[in-house]
Structure 1
Amino acid sequence: MGSVLFTPLTLRSMTLQHRGWVSPMCQYSCAAETGEGVPNDWHLMHLGSFAAGGAALILTEAAAVNPVGRISPLDAGLYNDEQASAWERIIQFVHQHGAADAKIGAQLAHAGRKGSTYWPFSGRNGSVQESDGGWATVGPGTGAFDGYAPPSAMTDEDIDGVIRDFAAAAVRAVEAGFDTVEIHGAHGYLLHEFQSPLVNDRTDAWGGTEDGRNRLTLAVVDAVRDVIPDSMPLLLRISASDWAEGGVEVDHAVRLARQAAERGVDLVDVSSGGAVAHQKIQAGPGYQTGFSTRIRHEADVATGTVGLLTSAGQAEHAVATGQADGIFIARAALRDPHWWLRAAFELGHDISWPPQYERAIPRHSF
Structure 2
Amino acid sequence: MSLAQRRILLGVSGGIAAYKSCELVRRLREQGAEVRVVMTAGAEHFVGAATFQALSGQPVRTSLWDESAEAAMGHIELARWAERILIAPASADIIAKLAHGHAGDLLTTLCLASAAPLSVAPAMNQQMWAHPAVQANVALLRQRGVQLLGPAAGEQACGDVGSGRMLEPHELRDALAASFGSGALAGLSVVVSAGPTFEDIDPVRFIGNRSSGKMGFAVAQAATEAGARVTLVAGPVSLATPPGVARRIDVRSAAQMQAAVLDASAQAQIYIGAAAVGDYRPAEVAERKLKKQAGADLVLQLAENPDILGSLAARPAHPFLVGFAAETHDVARYAQDKLQRKGLDMIAANRVGDGLGFETADNALDVYWADGMLALARAGKAELARQLVACVAERYRAVRG
Structure number with bigger Rg: 2
TM range (shorter): 0.3 to 0.5
Q: Where is the strand percentage greater, Structure 1 or Structure 2?
A: 2
